[in-house]
Amino acid sequence: MNDMRHAKSLIFIGSNPPEAHPVSMQHILHAKEKNNAPIIVVDPRRTKLAAKADEYVRIRPGTDAAFMLGLINVIVAKGWEDKEFIRTRVSGYEEMLEVAKKYTPEEVEDITGIPAEQTYKVAEMLAKNRPTSLTWCMGGTQHTIGSSITRTFCILQLVLGNMGKSGGGTNIFRGHDNVQGATDMCILSHSLPAYYGLSDGAWKHWCRVWDVDYDWMVGRFKSKEWMNKKGFTLSRWFDGVLEGEDKIHNGGTSVKALIQWGCGSNSNSRFHDVKKAYNKLDLLVVVDPFPTSAAALCETDNVYILPAASQYETQGSVSSSSRQIQWRYKVVEPVYDSKDDYDIMKEFVTRLGFADQYYKNIKQVPEDITRELGSGSLTIGYNGQTPERIKKHMENWHTFDIDTLQAKGGACDGEYYGMPWPCWTEEHPGTPILYDISKPVNEGGLPFRNRFGDVATYAMSGRVENQLAAKGTCNPRSVVQGGYSEFKEVVPGTNWKTDLSQKTIKEALSKGMAPFGNARARCIVWTFPDQIPIHREPLHSPRPDIVERYPTYKDKADHYRVDTRYESEQAKNNDIVKNFPYTLTTGRQVEHMGAGAETRSNKYLCELQPEMYAEINPKLANDLGIRDGGMVTVESPEGGKIKCKALVTERVDETTIFLPYHFAGSWEGESYADQYPEGNEPWAVGDSGNVITNYGYDIITQIQATKDGLCKISKA
């Protein structure tokens, strides 16, 4: 985040830092004040950041890709693209440009509602104020085409030449402490740690790391094929309960038990269906410092609450949004009957009978956990951040420069704070800016990664293109003056990401080269449904007149073990929009966090934000007879319904309803606070906004589409 201080312009799309990531504002405002950097905010809602913006762009939810392609259209038409960067470091550009040509500012206006002249204006602001820092958050991801939307953000930065430069890049603020670390360790259903996937080779690699027999690991599964299959996602687990054994792909059984560990249940979309699923489970276990809404909502006797320690009662390594690894120190021992996560995990694996295998390399907790993960996470360079080095950084934080995050003298001299990954060895300083070829690899520089070979033939055009960076494009001191392939066979039968001796990585560094090669960034992903990202209308669109021009995908079977409706769901749109004419979007408040179990249990925060509300435009409120502070009913096409207060405001336009998603504790206006364990009911209760977020899931990731649904609102 500190590097944003060097930006000459900043664009935020689907991101509201003053509410969601307030610490970042010191760096954002520094760039605005010291560099005279214009701030551009693209959001359906006039946010607190928009109040500080030089240009506020009101966009229809779910149309971000169209706007980005429109900006590219203008930038190239005006000759503002970074031609040399594109020539040397980008592939698939010609094919991408053919797609972008269709998104004229006038077409973008029809899709997004953004005036054509504003698209021209923003394109010029970005072109004349480089480097640009582009930031997105869940406003960009939580759509059925979220993966395409975020790709357009990256492609825009490639066209402008803003990648790998101080003050530039694409920057994703993570919502909680250690979200980045949890993602890197792949606490997900489709990969082993460090993004290795679920192939046989990935399993064999991690079995070597864990010192566990591969055949024993195979025996843990119902059959070998299930070892390589994706599991349910967090967004769809409840469909694994509700859909029935004939409609899911889960080895012939529905989901019977659920452990929710540090997970706010009301963060799920279609929360009214989540509630139904709780009551069909044979077992629900909640591991959390606070009883979540799940514990109170489940109406059967199958609920167990395991009180987990807070961050102040435990210790260990965490990774921040900036890929920095920090050590979180224990302040006090766990109080009352709580245990820290390590002890709870040990209790589980001991009773389940595989503690001997689980703890083979772990004697000192948590230091040995960090060491084990680092020894295997070669793909992203967690190799060099030992517990000792991490703690040394924490003890000497005052020696790091606020602008560069590099230590000036002292015990950490020359290193970057937190050794942001990749940190290839115990001597490497960390990589502060990804893909920066201005400095040597050994000093924190990095080229683009070569993941898919040296040459590609594009099916859409038949063109053959070299995927390696152009001649002369490389980090200083690189033995190869241009692009090169990944390193392998230094140790026979291995490559840089499977050689546990790390000889391959050290061989690459000795040549001034990156272990993963030096390639071009791709505008084309030939394994995705849309090889080049395009706009597709949300499943429930307020604009049925353009659905035919920008239809969704075909339905997808066995999508993380459940079937996912796209085309068949969008076919209902004409009927839905007649009864649910308003666009629904959700977001954060600075006073509350996530599902709110923690913050709504803090009476001081609840004094600041005590009630659930729906933001509604004054004109729409007047048309519907709704007064500010009056009770309203908001309903979804799936049958979800909430009651809350109306906040009449011009933050939203005449067709959009905004809801914060932190509340729980009441259902259709009726409190269920008495169902929490005695003395643990939250101070603030309210209906959950996710009761009425719509059906819809990203075609690649299955992330829920909570930002672009439809709803209706009426006076309660």
Average pLDDT over residues 588-612: 96
Average pLDDT over residues 513-527: 97
Same fold, 179-320+325-384 and 577-715: no
> Distance between CA atoms of 307 and 691, rounded to whole angstroms?
26
- Beta carbons of 693 and 270 less than 8 angstroms apart: yes
Average pLDDT over residues 175-201: 93
Per residue in 666-696, pLDDT tens? Answer: 999 999 999 999 999 999 999 999 999 999 9
Tell me: pLDDT of 480 over 90.
Answer: yes
- Beta carbons of 57 and 109 less than 8 angstroms apart: no
Tell me: pLDDT of 246 over 90.
Answer: no
- Beta carbons of 425 and 502 less than 8 angstroms apart: yes
Average pLDDT over residues 211-240: 96
pLDDT of the residue at 670: 96
> Distance between CA atoms of 612 and 632, rounded to whole angstroms?
11
Average pLDDT of every residue of the chain = 96
3-state secondary structure 642-655: EEEEEEECCCCCCC
583: left (phi over 0), alpha (psi -120 to 50) or beta: beta
667 closest CA partner among 689, 645, 682: 689
701 closest CA partner among 185, 141, 226, 61: 141
Average pLDDT over residues 545-562: 97
Q: Which CATH architecture has domain 179-320+325-384?
A: 3-Layer(aba) Sandwich (3.40)
Q: What is the DSSP letter of 199?
A: S
Tell me: pLDDT of 423 over 90.
Answer: yes
**What is the percent of the chain where pLDDT is above 70?**
100
The band of 244, judged by pLDDT with boundaries at 50, 70 and 90, is confident
The band of 94, judged by pLDDT with boundaries at 50, 70 and 90, is very high
Tell me: pLDDT of 349 over 90.
Answer: yes
The residues, any chain, with a CB within 8 Å of residue 396's CB and separated by 6 or more, are: 407, 410, 411, 412
More confident residue, 656 or 459: 656
Average pLDDT over residues 336-361: 96
80 closest CA partner among 165, 161, 164, 167: 161
**Model-level pTM greater than 0.95?**
yes
What is the CATH code of the structural domain delimited by 577-715? 2.40.40.20
**What is the percent of the chain where pLDDT is above 90?**
96
First CA to last CA distance, the chain: 44
Q: What is the DSSP letter of 706?
A: -
- Beta carbons of 672 and 686 less than 8 angstroms apart: no
pLDDT of the residue at 300: 85
> Distance between CA atoms of 391 and 508, rounded to whole angstroms?
28
> Distance between CA atoms of 414 and 434, rounded to whole angstroms?
18
The residues, any chain, with a CB within 8 Å of residue 353's CB and separated by 6 or more, are: none
pLDDT of the residue at 460: 87
1 closest CA partner among 26, 20, 18: 26
- How is 681-692 classified by DSSP, letter by letter? --SS-B--GGGS
What are the residue ranges spanned by the domains of the chain?
2-172, 179-320+325-384, 577-715
CATH for 2-172 (3.40.228.10, 3.30.43.10, 3.40.190.10, 3.40.1350.10): 3.40.228.10
Tell me: pLDDT of 176 over 90.
Answer: no
Average pLDDT over residues 93-109: 98
